[in-house]
Chains A and B, each alone.
Chain A
Amino acid sequence: MSRSPGPDLVDDFPVLARTVRDGKRLVYLDSGATSQRPLQVLDAERRFVTTSNAAVHRGAHQLAEEATEAYEAARATIAAFVGARADEVVLTKNATEGINLIAYSLSNASTTPGAEHLALGPGDEVVVTEMEHHANLVPWQELCRRTGATLRWYGVTDDGRLDLDSIELSARTRVLAFVHTSNVLGTVNPVTELVDRARAVGALVVLDACQSVPHLPVDLPALGVDVAVFSGHKMLGPTGIGVMWARADLLDQLPPFLTGGSMISTVTMEGSSWAPAPQKFEAGVPMVSQAVGLAAACDYLTEIGMDVVAAHERALTARILDGLADLPGIRVVGPTGTTAAELADRGGTVAFVVDGVHAHDVGQVLDDRGVAVRVGHHCAWPLHRRMGVQATVRASTHVYSTEADVDALLEAVRATQGFFGVTTTTGAGVR
């Protein structure tokens, strides 16, 4: 029988049983930064390393065969998790590397015979949004700098949605890169609408799915995008592994980013040719045990059901939003509605500011009570500027989060206001 999200799963995550700061129960609400890993993931990695560890795609001994099979089976599981074909899944160090991979491959297209049609140059445009994580902004800034292309972006509305009227794509728009679920606002962007606009001008669509794939059922090919990236460590898997998915015909046309062993077809002293994708994009010995661990994380989430995971997180998000709305002096940065329709367009990250208390100081008091959140700009500095805030406090949930965690957060926010004397409701004041 499959188990339910929340308290039933706590035994799978031993770290959640520890205490912090002099015996306080750990209330982990920083899953948007990195999620905790269940024993099932650790066991899968350990089983692989203790029975079959070897370098993959080389060597003829039994361990090498088993390791290669484990690695490719992991790729197939990860691909199936997002509705994709295994040969369309490139395993990378993390999602950031995936975005750099596509950006540098597009750069390299200008000097690769047969790939010139993918190259960018002066007059071409790359379009992003003002709500991007730095990982889906800086690589595009750099691509534009290298190629002479122009970076443009969709703005963000005051309530934290994309302002779809802020710019229009043009015939010179070559790439549209945007985040599926904002890592700050929680906003889920209208993928279909944006894909339609990109298709109309023939632009490639790159989707940052780091905050969607771990929390929602996502079928990447069905979304109509060309490329998508996500990372293992935000979906109960290990660090050191990320995924870049792309349409097979695009992978065929793109030149490689990193070159070296494993990714070649033939090598002579004069030059080399490339293996077919995905190997073409996986130079060097890959991260096998991490791939096995990420596949185990996919299995773990699949067993629960991603629709069940999403419903669980929507309920917790509503509890956070409703609880914060009841407190004076709190401003949520992002959508605040808690109807079913509003929550359907929202992920489980809630960023907020406490009037009169800097986010770092809020985080300090929360931490003193065992509540782990992220404070700062969450690698989305331009978005914070746009929303008129220097830093926010961000609470983010996952499948193991509980109502008790949310209640502890809300109580700690109240205590923060009391500690810094910014509200009279608690009467504690500043000591």
Chain B
Amino acid sequence: MDLQELYRETILDHSRRPRLAGLREPFDTEVHQVNPVCGDEVTLRLRLGAGSGGDRPLTDVSYDAAGCSISQASTSVMVDALTGRSAAEAALAYRVFHDIVTTRGTMTADPLDHLPVDLADALGDAPAFAGVARYPARVKCALLGWTALRQALVETA
């Protein structure tokens, strides 16, 4: 496996220019996630809009992250894709992204196939992380920001 398979241009680009980065007000909950192996960390704030249950939109997801290019980029891709989406869509996206980075080279179908078309479009950068699945030590890096968002969604449910 080539290094370029892991470090796709999409990932390098997001790691250098993280989208929607920074911590913003107002927010409903703030969570902190750490990778104890390497000390990478992310602080993530979630602001939800009006609605009930899974229909509530993620009106703002802001974050401050310190870590490797994989964790920085995956958080950026997540926030870029899910801001404005509903909580239910975010939960669905988590499951899909988790599959992408943990299914060790066995994923054959397009991981975004069974998603609604507009959500699949929003997550267009996510399959770039498929190379992570070949390196078990990097899975935690790729999931750091996503784990933070999932925790924030649980706390605001």
Contacts and interface: CB of A to CB of B under 8 A. Distances in A.
B3 A360 contact: no
A22 to B, nearest CB: 7
Contacts of A430: 9, 12
A431 B4 contact: yes
A243 interface: no
Contacts of A361: 7, 68-70
Nearest to A384: B39
B37 A376 contact: yes
The contact size tier of chain A is 20 to 34
B39 A358 contact: no
Given A376-B37, A377-B38, A390-B40, A358 B67 contact: yes
B138 interface: yes
Contacts of A391: 38-40
B154 interface: no
A135 interface: no
Contacts, number: 51
Contacts of A419: 3, 7
Contacts of B40: 360, 390-391
Contacts of A21: 1
A429 to B, nearest CB: 11
Contacts of A384: 39
The contact size tier of chain B is 10 to 19
B92 interface: no
Interface in A200-234: none
Contacts of B68: 358-361
A48 B70 CA distance: 47
A381 B69 contact: no
A338 interface: no
A364 interface: yes
Interface string B93-137: 000000000000000000000000000000000000000000100
B134 to A, nearest CB: 10
Contacts of B3: 364-365, 368, 419
A375 interface: yes
B141 interface: yes
A381 B135 contact: no
Given A368-B3, A419-B3, A430-B12, A360 B39 contact: no
A365 B38 CA distance: 17
Contacts of A358: 67-69
B1 A22 contact: yes
Mostly, the A contact residues are mixed
Contacts of B69: 357-358, 360-361, 420
Interface string A150-173: 000000000000000000000000
Contacts of A360: 38, 40, 67-70, 138, 141
Contacts of A431: 4, 9
Interface in A338-368: 357-361, 364-365, 368
Nearest to B12: A430
Contacts of B6: 364
Contacts of A357: 69
A365 B7 CA distance: 10
A274 B111 CA distance: 63
Interface string A401-431: 0000000000000000001100000000011
Interface string B32-53: 0000011110000000000000
A357 B69 CA distance: 8
Contacts of A22: 1
A22 B5 CA distance: 14
A21 B4 CA distance: 14
B6 to A, nearest CB: 7
B129 to A, nearest CB: 14
A390 B70 contact: no
Residue of B1, B12, B68, B141 with highest tally of chain A CB at under 10 A? B68
Contacts of A364: 3, 6-7, 135, 138
A431 B66 CA distance: 24
Nearest to A369: B3
A357 B39 CA distance: 15
A391 B40 CA distance: 8
A63 to B, nearest CB: 42
Contact of B38 (A359, A368, A420): A359
A184 B41 CA distance: 21
19 contacts: A21-B1, A358-B69, A360-B40, A360-B68, A360-B69, A360-B138, A361-B68, A364-B7, A376-B37, A376-B38, A376-B39, A384-B39, A390-B39, A390-B40, A390-B66, A419-B3, A430-B12, A431-B4, A431-B9
Interface of B: 1, 3-4, 6-7, 9, 12, 37-40, 66-70, 135, 138, 141
Interface of A: 21-22, 357-361, 364-365, 368, 375-377, 381, 384, 390-391, 419-420, 430-431
Given A360-B70, A391-B40, 10 more contacts: A357-B69, A360-B38, A364-B135, A375-B38, A376-B37, A376-B38, A376-B39, A390-B38, A391-B38, A420-B69
